[in-house]
Amino acid sequence: MAEAHQAVGFRPSLTSDAGEVELSAPMLQEIYLSGLRSWKRHLSRFWNDFLTGVFPASPLSWLFLFSAIQLAWFLQLDPSLGLMEKIKELLPDWGGQHHRLRGVLAAALFASCLWGALIFTLHVALRLLLSYHGWLLQPHGAMSSRTKTWLALVRIFSGRRPMLFSYQRSLPRQPVPSVQDTVRKYLESVRPVLSDEDFDWTAALAREFLRLQASLLQWYLQLKSWWASNYVSDWWEEFVYLRSRNSLMVNSNYYMMDFLYVTPTPVQAARAGNAVHALLLYRHRLNRQEILPTLLMGMRPLCSAQYEKIFNTTRIPGVHKDHIRHLRDSRHVAVFHRGRFFRLGTHTQSGLLSPRALEQQFQRILDDPSPACPHEEHLAALTAAPRDMWAQVRRSLKTQAQEALEAVEGAAFFVSLDSEPAGLTREDPAASLDAYAHALLAGRGHDRWFDKSFSLIVFSNGKLGLSVEHSWADCPISGHMWEFTLATECFQLGYAADGHCKGHPDLSLPQPQRLHWDLPDKIHLSISLALRGAKTLSGNIDCHVFPFSHFGKSFIKRWHLSSDSFIQMALQLAYFRDRGQFCLTYESTMTRLFLEGRTETVRSCTREACNFVRAMEDKEKTDPQCLALFRLAVDKHQALLKAAMSGQGVDRHLFALYIVSQFLHLQSPFLDQVHSEQWQLATSQIPVQQIHLFDVHSYPDYVSSGGGFGPADDHGYGVSYIFMGDDVITFHISSKKSSTRTDSHRLGQHIEDALLDVAALFQEGQRLKRRGLGEDDSGHSRDSLPCHTRGSRAPTTATNF
């Protein structure tokens, strides 16, 4: 989500002193280290890899095979065709009385070799099957016989009851696209936003790049793709995130909201108790790999590698480069309340604390009257400071307050008990939602530990939210966890009639441990500077959240359109009306079809989209003409989206080529030009992945309202959206108040008008179709838009679709 800001802001700081390009020892060394990091990750999770590595077989299948061989041997049959006798000859001779033991060992070794060969064959077959992406290119709602055959084979080779990491060894590696295709697609993407003169200049740079440098850079990428698990993901994490020196707040973090219309309990401690218990239940399932892998079409698995670092993870600041610290386990959470830090144990010898016991511990913190120590209240502002500054201060802090710092950084996650309420209010729904979003994204600048993988925020009225650090994983991962948490704490754990957690307190539990910070005087100034910078950054963010309830996904699907493409085209129309021009648009999509894949960019501002927008603003164009152009734009967007998902995108390939050029000390004006681009419209859809957890028909208000992120450019917008059930779309818009060109509320109104205008096209097309069939058009269907025509403002009393 927030990656667009990081993608344009990174500056590779390569410290190698190696000289020219001969065979570039630094570049080869970096490729070697990439592969080494991949193998270290595999070794660190050896046991899990063993359990899942034999999938779709199981350890029991080895026992069955061994028993079958022993039975055949007992019946004087030799299924090994003499191989077991050869194996027995190679085994040491322990004497005549151990002859039977040698036979058993020979059978076990033969069974193991045969079992391993079968598993390897299954893995190779499944990897080859999963390398097929023709199903992505099928027309919407259609499936060829080839794809049906492929699905049947995947079903056969996929096995049953997979664990979270069962498919990791079978996932194909992300391919390195053709550099010629990538450059061609790039030029096509920038054509709508460049003048003829600028485009000709860019095309000339591209031709020079292809002639002089592309083949060498591509060779190194191909080499890396053969050796490492993924040719781009580790560099993306390092150079886009960990080497960024900007503040994490707003620039890198993103937020996720609670239910929009309901709060299960107004008791702050109770909501915290249930939420923390639900999160730790999720961690327990994660450790046991009981979370099912995500499957597209119910069959095509996605990479699960990012799940490993959800909990017990902290981004540690460093000079020039941060690093991610992940612990195997943590049995406490760090809690912040009214400027004080606490260590709250989550387990006893008998296991995880009950929700009621956790509520009791949180209530003890809320009732603690002790004041914050000097400068302790604003200490967390350091995590919102520029990374080099925080790294230097942290060295002193680690020396003076090592125990307290370790308690925070070593926690399962961070919990902030806010003293103010948040969420939707009847008195001022628009302003209350905007304030809610701002509180989750930035808070007060000193009440979140932005280094933690995520912070759970519990407001005084029981409302929840997440603030998520971006480097360790992307939004769908934290979103999956958040969906489980909301569903579990509300529907499974539940609350008593008085709003407290169910069950009984445990008065034998010790008080939560108050953390004490011995802050040296030289840190005080740094805290003050960090707080000033955090407040400035926080105060400059303009957040706007609004639920669009005129229609939703069900209406879009009835027209056999992609709901995401529908929104993206409406965003192009809205932005053009807001700024009077087109801009490069960043839409994030996933590449988790491949091993350790993360994201790719869909460049949504296409020539087809621009033609549609211009037609909508041209009063001489008829609605059927606009509708035809809209469908062309949607089809183009779908083609780009599918290409990006299948590893044939533009931006990650160009990014990796740029990194190689920096290692080789090769100057490429074309890659420099690509890297200097600004994304003035960064967009992202928040997927709903576990629909079965929420009964949207019986409980339509119990759905997450999504989340948002900061703008990628000082004069740009950040826009995210989520389809809440079938009939509501919630938008999260951010921009900077310091810019005179942007206004989040103004863009929000343009988005609402654009959606209604596009929907009116389909309404008019339906009316014309009915007239052509000779049907009575005097009454509108329930799908109509009353009193709305293209370019007009919808009445506030318009009924929903």
Q: Give the span between the Cα atoms of 539 and 738, in whole angstroms.
A: 10
Q: Which candidate in 470, 480, 500, 637 is catalytic?
A: 470
> What amino acid occupies position 314?
T
| Sequence-separated (6 or more) residues with CB below 8 Å from residue 547 | 260, 705, 724, 728, 729, 730, 731
Q: Which of 303, 324, 239 is nearest to 590 (CA)?
A: 303
Q: H-type helices in 401-462, by residue range?
A: 402-409, 429-441
- Three-state SS string over 136-156 comes to HHCCCCCCCHHHHHHHHHHHH
Alpha carbons 331 and 326: distance in angstroms, whole number: 14
How far apart CA 273 and CA 500 sit, in angstroms, is 9
Paired residues of 454 in beta bridges: 468
Cβ contact 186:654 at 8 Å: yes
In one-letter notation, the amino acid at residue 183 is: V
Peptide bond into 56 cis (omega under 30): yes
- Write the DSSP string, 218-257: HHHHHHHHHHSS-SSHHHIIIIIIIT--S-STTTT-EEEE
Count the alpha carbons within 13 Å of 73 in the hemisphere toward its beta carbon: 20
Active site residue 732: no
- Estimate to the nearest angstrom the gap between the alpha carbon of 292 and the chain centroid: 17
DSSP 371: P
Residue in this structure with the two tokens 């152009």, named with its chain if needed:
629
Give the tokens for residue 313.
Answer: 């993870």
- Which of 549, 546, 558, 548 minimizes the C-alpha distance to 763? 558
CA distance 762 to 754: 13
DSSP 112-133: HHHHHHHHHHHHHHHHHHHT--
The residue among 176, 37, 69 whose CA lies nearest residue 652 is: 176
For the chain, the maximum distance between any two Cα atoms, rounded to a whole number of angstroms, is 100
Which tokens belong to 518?
Answer: 């011995």
Spatial distance between the Cα atoms of 562 and 564, rounded to a whole number of angstroms: 5
For the annotated catalytic residues, the residue numbers are: 470
